[in-house]
Amino acid sequence: MKVLKNIVIKIIIPIFLIATLLSYNVNAVVEGRPVKVGVFLYRLDPFISLVKESLENIQKQNPGKVEFTFFDANNDQTVQNRQIDDLLMKGTDLLLVNLVDTKFTRDVVNKTKESNVPVVFFNREPVSIEAIRSYSKACFVGTDAKQAGILQGQMLIDIWNRNKNIIDRNKDNIMQYVMLQGEKNNLEAIDRTKYSVLTINNAGIPTEEIALQDCDWNKDIAKDVMTALLLRYGDKIEVIISNNDAMAEGAIEALQAQGFNNGNPLKTLPVVGVDAIPSAQELIKKGYMSGSVVQDPQAMAEALYLAGMNLVNGKSAIDGTKYKFDETGVAIRLPYTKYIVK
């Protein structure tokens, strides 16, 4: 009787465990409903708006498989914290989180871990990747901000070498620049700023920083800042480097109000940005803006969808995909490319 009891236990327990795992891993499929995903956006800036649109297109192309619900924190971490808490309380299958303040990475990880909900952080580089590594159902989808800065630097090197006689307005062989930075303590902004200038210097071109201004990734703020800088420094400014296209566009509007960057090469200051959003592409085609660095919103949305669905189904985020983790083991880095008009 004891032998029979042991045999029954050995048979029943594995069957129970397998059934439990299957129920958990493919829960959404078994229930015949789409995977419910909460998408938390720091705010709807031009690039993030395009990511949102791309995710909406993925939902349309995959009827019955996924259902995205979007939350705009309007650049307020307190609001975003409340939005995340509310959704976790109501129940969801997955979180995609574009943090307002990346110092809250660990707080969000702890909340999702307690709720046993997978989470994919994206776009805004976390202050510490260790928090993400502490949870097996978490990962990060982003880019390498250093690469963006390097590509900006390379574009300006080419422009300087081709048109130095026009750009070097005071003929001192030094590139005098204004840096429009996204945020003071944002890791992506810091790296884009640092490596753009470092790349120019490494090519043997001396630089001088006329001004570095934090413009919160915002077009209107950048326009006001650039208007003030033009009044203060005038002909000293030769080049404008912007951490994103929205701020670059604001700078161009300020320049145009002063008679610059309206199509005359002799009265055009090189302006480079990051994101290659459609409006910036049009400015580049018209010759009002020198170039940008492509950050593909469709590619980011696709990576978020594939990595997130894998985590929901108990797999590695990169299982069966073209993606690879970087040296951290939890971050997927999407490549940048240059956007210029030949």
pLDDT per residue as tens digits for the range 105-156:
999 999 999 999 999 999 999 988 999 999 999 999 999 999 999 999 999 9
Pick among 3.30.1360.120, 1.10.1840.10, 3.40.50.620, 3.40.50.2300: CATH of 33-143+299-335: 3.40.50.2300
How confident is the model at residue 14, as a pLDDT? 39
Alpha-carbon distance values, 305 to 39, 127, 136, 162, 317 (Å): 11, 23, 17, 42, 10
Report the Cα 235 to chain-centroid distance in Å: 34
Can you say whether the dihedral through the CA atoms of 281, 282, 283, 285 is positive or negative?
positive
- The dihedral region occupied by 36, where left means phi > 0, alpha psi between -120 and 50, and beta the remainder, is beta
How confident is the model at residue 3, as a pLDDT? 37
Pick among 3.40.50.2300, 3.40.50.10800, 3.30.2350.10, 3.30.70.100: CATH of 146-294: 3.40.50.2300
How confident is the model at residue 323, as a pLDDT? 98
Buried b / exposed e along 100-133 (16+ C-beta atoms within 10 A): bbbebbbebbebbbebebbbbbbbbbbbebebbb
The residues of the chain scoring below 70 in pLDDT are 1-30, 342
How confident is the model at residue 7, as a pLDDT? 37
Q: How far apart are CA 116 and CA 327, in angstroms?
A: 26
User: Taking the domains of the chain in order of start, what are their residue ranges?
Assistant: 1-32, 33-143+299-335, 146-294
Report the Cα 307 to chain-centroid distance in Å: 16
Domains 33-143+299-335 and 146-294 share a fold: yes
How confident is the model at residue 18, as a pLDDT? 34
Q: What pTM did the predictor assign?
A: 0.88
How confident is the model at residue 155, as a pLDDT? 98
